[in-house]
Structure 1
Amino acid sequence: MFKKLVILAAAAVAAVSGAARAADVDNIRMGYIADYFGTSVAAIATKEGLWAKHGLEAELKVFTNGPIQVQALRAGSLDFAYIGPGALWLPASGQAKVIAVNALGYTDRVIAQPGINSIADLKGKKVGVPEGTSGDMLLRLSLKKAGMKLDDIKVIPMDPSTVVTAFASGQIDAAGIWYPFVDVIKKRIPNLKELSSNEDFFPDIAFPSSFIVSDAKAQDVEVIKKVDAVIKDAIDFRRDNPEKAVAITAAFLNVPEGPLLAESKLARLPSSAELEKLTRDGKVANWFDTLAELYADFGKIKDPRPASDFYLGKLYAE
C-alpha cells in the first residue's frame, strides 16, 4: 500500500511538473522568406531544437517579402517576422518594432541586359523592381549616386518571380533584385551586367536584415527575450558551421544547396556578441537611422522615427 502511495505521489509530482513546463512554453507565429538569409535562422532553430531549448513552440509561415509580413503582423495573424533592409521603412514609420539584426547582406544587385554598362545607361529604360524591398532601395541609391532620379527611368513594379520571367524574356531592360534570383536569371542570360551592389555603399551604409515583432506582441518582453535567445543561438551556429547551415536550410526548403551556398557568402555575419556590443555602442541604431533617412529622401516615408523608437536594442543587449 505504501509503495502504491509513493508511486501515485510521484506520478502527481510529475504531472504538476509537466504542467508547469507546459505553462512555461510560449506559442509564437513567425514569418520567413524562402531564401538563405530569410530562412536559415528558422531552419536552424527547428533542426537544432532551439525553440524548445528557449521555451517556445513556433508556427512558421512562409512569405515572399517583408511588406506582406508586416501586413500580417498588423492583421494579427503573425507575431514575429523577417525583413530585409528594403522593408525597414515599415518599422521606421511605426508599423512594427525591430528586435534583432540577422545579417549584413550584400545579396542585392541592379542588373541589366547585355549592352547596358552603367547606371547612367538606364535613362529611359524599363526597370523591374519589387516595391518596398532591398532591391528597390539599392536601385534608388544607385540612381542617386549616378546623379539621376527615379523619374529618369521607367519603373515597373513586379514581384521577384515576375522579375525573373520578364528579364529573361527581354520585357524589361534592368532590375533591382537579389540573389538567388540573380543566379536564376544568369542561367538564362549568363552575360547580363551587374551594375551595382550593396557593398558599393559600405561602410557608410549597412544593409541589415532583421527580425521584427508586431506592436501587439511588443509588450511581451519575456517572449521577445526568448525569441532573441533563439536568434542569437541560430546566427552563431550559422556563422560557426557555414556548410552545415546551408545543408539544413536547403533541406528545410527542399531545394538544392548550390544557390543557397552562393547566397550565404554574400553577407557579413557578426556574432551575437558582436551585435550586442554594436547595439550598446549605438552602431546598430545608426544603421537603422541612416536607412530611415534614406527612405525619407526617397519620399517613401515623410517623418521617419528614430531607431530608439523602433529598435528594441536594450532587450537584445541584455
Structure 2
Amino acid sequence: MTIKRTAFATVSVLVLAGPLSAQDLQEIRMGYIADYWGTSIAAIATDQGMWEKHGLDADLKVFTNGPIQVQALNAGSLDFAYIGPGALWLPASGQAKVIAPNALGYTDRVIAQEGIETIADLAGKKVGVPEGTSGDMLLRLALAKADLDLDAIEFISMDPSTIVTAFTSGQIDAAGIWYPFVDVIGQRVPGMTELASNEDFFPDIAFPSSFIVSDDMAGEEETIRRVVAVIKDANDYRLANPDEAVTITADFLNAPADPLRAESTMARMPTSAEFEELTTGGQVDNWFDTLADLYVQFGKIEDPLPASEFYLGELYAE
C-alpha cells in the first residue's frame, strides 16, 4: 500500500519562502506501521496539509514492523521511517539515526491462552513473537523478572498477522504482541490472559517510539528540519484533538475506529515543546541509553552507540 500526497498546481501554500507549487515541494519517502501510534502522525499530516505547509511531498509506505523499515532505509528505498522501542537496537548499532520521539507507549503485552496465569507458567510453552520488536523486548523483560531466560520457552518468530491466526487456532500458547492485535485476539479468544505490560516497568524503563532517518539522508539537515516540523505539528494536533485524530487515522487506514481508539489511550504523550525540554535536559537520551543497555543484556547487540551519537536531538530541539 502506497499513498502519495501531492499538492495540486492550483493550490499554493504560504511558507517562509512564499507560495509553493507542486513542482517546488521536496519529495521524501516515509514508512509507517498500520496501528494508531505508527500511523497517526502520517495520517494527520496528510489530512491537515502539513507536508505541503513545510514544503514536502510525502510518498508514504506501510510496513509491518520497524526492522523491515530499517532494511528499506539501508537498501535506499526509504528515507524516513517509524519504529517502536523494540527496534531501537538498530539505530543504537549504527544502522539509522533517530530524528524525533513519538510517544511513550504501553501498548505491548505478553498474552497467553486461558489457564496460563503467570509468566512462570510459560516454561516449556510455545510463544510467538515478532523478533526484534517491542513485543520481543517486553517478553524478555517479563521473563527476566520471573527469573527465566529465553531458553525456558519455545521461542517462535512470527509476524503479527501470523500470531493472530496461530493464537486464535491454538497453535501457540502465548505471544509477545501489541494493540490493536491484542484486542483482535481478545475478541476471538475470550479466555485470553494478559501476563505483562510495558507499564509494569515504568518509570524505570520508558518505551518511546520514534522516527528515524537513513544514514544517507542524515546529513540533509534542512530536509530533516522540515520532517521534524511536520512531526511536531501533527503531534500537537493529535494531543489537542484526540477524537479527530482517531477518526483521521481510521479513515487513512480504512480500518474500524474502536480498536484504534483503545490503542490511543495507551501511551504518555508529551507536547512537542515538552519533548524539546526533555531533549535538552537529557531525558530522551537517557530513555534511549537505557533501552540500548537492555539490548546488550539480551545479547542483541554488544557495543551500542551512546544516544548522543544516534539521536539528532539538537535538530529536534531547535
Q: What interval of TM-score do these two structures reach, taking the shorter chain for normalisation? A: over 0.9
Q: Where do residues 267-306 of structure 1 align in structure 2 (5 Å cutoff)?
A: 267-306=267-306
Q: Find the counterpart in structure 2 of residue 230 from structure 1.
A: 230
Q: Find the counterpart in structure 1 of residue 125 from structure 2.
A: 125
1:243 partnered with 2:243? yes
Deviations 1:166-218, CA, capped at 9 Å, x for gaps: 11111111000000000110111112110000000000100000000000000
Q: Find the counterpart in structure 2 of residue 115 from structure 1.
A: 115
Shift of residue 25 of structure 1?
2.5
Q: Where do residues 125-274 of structure 1 align in structure 2 (5 Å cutoff)?
A: 125-274=125-274
Aligned AA for 1:264?
S
Q: Where do residues 57-136 of structure 1 align in structure 2 (5 Å cutoff)?
A: 57-136=57-136
Compare the two structures and name the one with the higher helix fraction: 1
Deviations 1:32-59, CA, capped at 9 Å, x for gaps: 0011010000000000000010111100
Contact 2:86 2:134 (C-alpha < 8 Å) held by counterparts: yes
Contact 2:20 2:55 (C-alpha < 8 Å) held by counterparts: no
Aligned AA for 1:113?
Q
Q: Find the counterpart in structure 2 of residue 6 from structure 1.
A: none
Q: 1:20, 1:84 → 2: CA distance?
A: 34
Q: 1:101, 1:43 → 2: CA distance?
A: 17
Q: 2:305, 2:18 → 1: CA distance?
A: 44
Q: 1:84, 1:237 → 2: CA distance?
A: 21
Q: Find the counterpart in structure 1 of residue 49 from structure 2.
A: 49
Shift of residue 20 of structure 1?
7.4
Aligned AA for 1:254?
N
Q: 1:25, 1:99 → 2: CA distance?
A: 21
Q: 1:262, 1:84 → 2: CA distance?
A: 18
Rg larger in structure: 1
Q: State the identity as a percent.
A: 74
Corresponding residue SS for 2:289? helix
Q: 2:185, 2:256 → 1: CA distance?
A: 16
Q: Find the counterpart in structure 1 of residue 28 from structure 2.
A: 28
Shift of residue 19 of structure 1?
9.7
Aligned AA for 2:113?
Q
Corresponding residue SS for 2:60? strand
Q: 2:299, 2:317 → 1: CA distance?
A: 32
Corresponding residue SS for 1:137? helix
Corresponding residue SS for 2:156? strand
- When the two chains are superposed, the root-mean-square deviation of aligned CA atoms in Å is 1.3
Q: Where does the alignment leave 5 or more consecutive residues of structure 1 unmatched?
A: 1-16
Deviations 1:136-156, CA, capped at 9 Å, x for gaps: 000000001111100011101
Corresponding residue SS for 1:166? helix
Aligned AA for 1:33?
I
Contact 2:279 2:317 (C-alpha < 8 Å) held by counterparts: yes
Q: 1:235 to 1:155 in 2, by over 3 A?
A: same
Q: 1:20 to 1:187 in 2, by over 3 A?
A: closer
Q: 1:23, 1:183 → 2: CA distance?
A: 43
Q: 1:19 to 1:199 in 2, by over 3 A?
A: closer
Q: 1:302, 1:234 → 2: CA distance?
A: 36
Aligned length: 302
Q: 2:195, 2:71 → 1: CA distance?
A: 32
Shift of residue 24 of structure 1?
5.2
